[in-house]
Homo-oligomer: A and B are copies of this chain.
Amino acid sequence: MKYYIGIDLGGTNVRTLLVDETGKSYSEVKDATERDNGPDYVCSKIIRQIESLDCSVCGGLENVQGIGIGVPGPVDTEHGVMIMATNLPGFENYPICEKLSSRFNLPVFIDNDANVAGLAEALLGAGKGKPTCYYVTISTGIGGAFIVNGQLVSGGRGHAGEIGNIIVKNNGYKFGGLNPGAVEGEASGTAITRKGKEILGEDKVAHAGDVFRLADEGDIKAQGIVDECISELATMFANIAHTVDPHCFIIGGGVMKSKRYFYDKLVEQFNSKIHVGMRGYIPLLETELEDCGAIGAAMLPMSKLK
């Protein structure tokens, strides 16, 4: 059995795990990130976390195979640094992998949090055994990850899976740095909530789930919002399918809590928007793992070193 260390480095918390190759966790340390103290401070904190892990199951830290880090934002995987770090000030180009690698004399890999979550699902969750998986998370935003033969396709600039910026509507809503009509601006949890507040009223809609519930209760305007979002998500899934024809999609994120209100229609519309020869062959699976950021990060060295 081989053992790996996974680090889920978020803007709020940082969590470090010792796991084996099946994803089983043996030891965990979690702390507030305290990002405002800067990258050197956070890096020291991670080093202490790693040193605090109980590695007796593998006879000590020296028998661990490697370290993986998941971070919020695009990553230059070749050089082991973040490209943009909105939620971790100072981490742009900060040599986090080099620092941990020289401290522990272990190989260290980094990728973004959606990618490592997708990797965990592909290797240990819904995608287990599939040659290729496209992971999609529909939540506040929309993100994804493409996994081929157990390896992440991170992209030349770490932007593979930035599917929230896929254009699904001409001259659509312009949100932040995204394209007008990008699917994240049209059909994310945030977008559904925004449309709900605009069309149904601020008092009726606190979150996307309210829009789905009202549609289910027969509100025609809410049904219009839901139908439009389903159509736009189906366009996004179809565009991805024509680009890489994955063996499955794996769908996670908060919007899946309302799955019963939209999933069947989404599957139907997705299949109507792909080539005849693909119809019925690409399952839209639900994620199986919970809170898999640190486990997915631990899968990075496993996938790279095999």
Contact = CB atoms under 8 A, between A and B. Distances in A.
Interface residues of A, number: 48
Contact of A277 (B159, B239, B241): B159
A132 B153 CA distance: 9
A239 B241 contact: no
Contacts of A83: 277
Given A162-B275, A179-B273, A275-B159, A153 B244 contact: yes
Interface stretch (A1-9, A51-59, A163-171): A163-171
A242 interface: yes
Say whether chain A's binding surface is mostly helix, strand, loop, or mixed: loop
A126 to B, nearest CB: 15
A239 B273 CA distance: 16
A170 B276 CA distance: 20
Given A132-B156, A170-B169, A162 B245 contact: yes
Interface string A125-163: 000000110000000000010101000011111111111
Nearest to A272: B179
A281 B245 contact: no
Given A148-B153, A169-B170, A159 B278 contact: yes
A240 B243 contact: yes
Contacts of A278: 157, 159, 162
Contacts of A240: 243
The 3 A-B pairs of least Cβ separation, nearest first, read A155-B245, A156-B247, A160-B245
